[in-house]
Structure 1
């Protein structure tokens, strides 16, 4: 029996969830809701068996809908999650779970008293490469975990291209890396210092590095920025995870197509090369479906609390960077050249998905 779901938001992420749910054969996508008429027309073309609507309340009022997928902007999620709870539905949502940290913790308090499955897309936890490295560490192959080094720099989304409610890049994208560092450490953040850069003299820092400690003494540094050569003729990126133990190391790099994991342990040395896997929405949707069918929240599903903690420290690190001599280099004219180039690019990093076509 397929699980009946209503999707709210049919932009870039909503389309990606729709694709994976269609492929799996486990979901009956009964509704697709979007306030944008072009997105609704696209949904009608792609998903003729779904009811295409502009009023989300229809989904919450339909007792046959078991799950709501929340893929619109962050400022809509607080109220949508509350509606889902009132209508007794399972919840699958993008992050962050609200547009302010106060509202996020309000949602955490609500959901932790709720008896339905509620999960957030913190996709790195379900990636094959992080799962592989975590198992190797848990087996004791690198000794005691000591140092976490995580970097993700791409041309990516330029300022003004989609961070209105999710915050600057270090919050919107960076909270994935803040979350995965905490997942590896198995502990909470204790101390930190952050430095940022206002590239192109934009008002917010678009590159930030934070470093500090967890309560168990593990040290971290996390670097994230969508500043990596936007106007270079041939674009590139720099993305890695480098984990150092008292006896060995594990590390990973990727090119968005292939990920390479290198494991240097006391008993084994391995090099594993496999397809990158994208945002792992197929895994997330399948684990969600398993949890609903089994009536038990799978621990692999990131929780609302996980999302709120990652979001909170994203804001904390950004605020710390803003206090620490936040320089601005470049000018807004260069930023406009970047935006203009990206409007016409067919291939590149973090390009917004055109509304009228599926990519």
Structure 2
């Protein structure tokens, strides 16, 4: 049995998904669309892609295509989700689903009505380190969770043009950590307090955003969480997590090129963290598309649902409101729907 796939948006992440999908024998990547394709001809030919088009509707109208990957700008996601659902396609959508909770809710309603699958691209859920931490929490090895601490710092900030269209630090960067907080804790966030500053690049502040943040979370199970973010860590991509409970604690440290540590009379040294997300989460990107593909082929559950994407957006919105008002923001609790 084969799953025929189309890719909407052929930037860095779209091309990465093509590479990873082609590792799976049961997958055929038939078509790719992008608003500009002049530079993609030789690439598409090398990947044996049959159709290269500037109109993503060509993919939605193709009866052979079973599923689409939405890797286009965030402002297009909700519209394409609705159209793909109406066309009966299963959907993998990069985060966030949209910049508007209301738009996301409307898109998810169309997915539910159509009965297709939707997975949101929170790739960190598929990282082997974080998956092991989640399993440790779920099996009770550290007892009742008390404190979750997440550190997420990029090696360098993106360009200002990207900052202006990103939706802000909380929606663009911290949203991964909001999803990770729910995933690890197994409990919803009920209150958010956010603090932010511009310490990396004044131009980021001039663009209306922040580049440094500390966010405090309260969970429905009574536990607490702390997330710290920076757009620039001089030593590389800093991705660490700790969960502390009444019976112990578990930590996930940074991935490095090797585990070698050199000790001399002058210093103790080990290699810096892997440089950025493509290196750090290589296996996670492979695993997320593999699991989505088999959820479609075998009518299984997706690992990161549209509801998960919606909840992360709600937390991001609450964090922004807390930053703007200077007070904690409570979140209304929403029941998780049945996930297809």
Q: What TM bracket, shorter-length normalisation?
A: 0.7 to 0.9
Q: CA deviation at 1:218?
A: 0.7
8 Å contact kept, 2:243–2:251: yes
In the superposition, the TM-score normalised over structure 2's length comes to 0.83
Q: CA deviation at 1:77?
A: 0.9
Match of 2:297 among 274, 293, 299: 293
Gaps of 5+ in 2: 260-278, 328-340
Q: CA deviation at 1:220?
A: 0.4
In the superposition, the TM-score normalised over structure 1's length comes to 0.78
8 Å contact kept, 1:91–1:117: yes
Gaps of 5+ in 1: 230-234, 260-274, 326-359
Q: CA deviation at 1:159?
A: 4.7
Q: CA deviation at 1:215?
A: 1.5
| Corresponding position of 2:191 | 191
Root-mean-square deviation (Å): 2.3
Describe the SS at the equivalent of 1:254. Answer: coil
- The correspondence of residues 155-194 of structure 1 with structure 2, limited to 5 A, is 155-160=155-160, 162-194=162-194
| Corresponding position of 2:148 | 148
| Corresponding position of 1:206 | 211
8 Å contact kept, 2:142–2:246: yes
Match of 2:321 among 316, 319, 322: 319
| Corresponding position of 1:304 | 306
Q: CA deviation at 1:257?
A: 4.4
Q: CA deviation at 1:9?
A: 0.5
Q: CA deviation at 1:279?
A: 6.2
| Corresponding position of 2:268 | none
Matches of 2:96 and 2:86, distance apart in 1? 21
Per-residue displacement from partner, 1:298-320 (whole Å, max 9, x unpaired)?
A: 4xx20111011102211221232
Per-residue displacement from partner, 1:220-264 (whole Å, max 9, x unpaired)?
A: 0111221323xxxxx4343310110012000011146469xxxxx
8 Å contact kept, 1:195–1:321: yes
Q: Structure 1 317/98 Cα, relative in aligned 2: closer, same or farther at 3 Å?
A: same
Q: CA deviation at 1:24?
A: 1.8
| Corresponding position of 2:51 | 51
Is residue 284 of structure 2 the alignment partner of residue 280 of structure 1? yes
The count of corresponding residues between Structure 1 and Structure 2 is 304
Matches of 1:159 and 1:196, distance apart in 2? 19
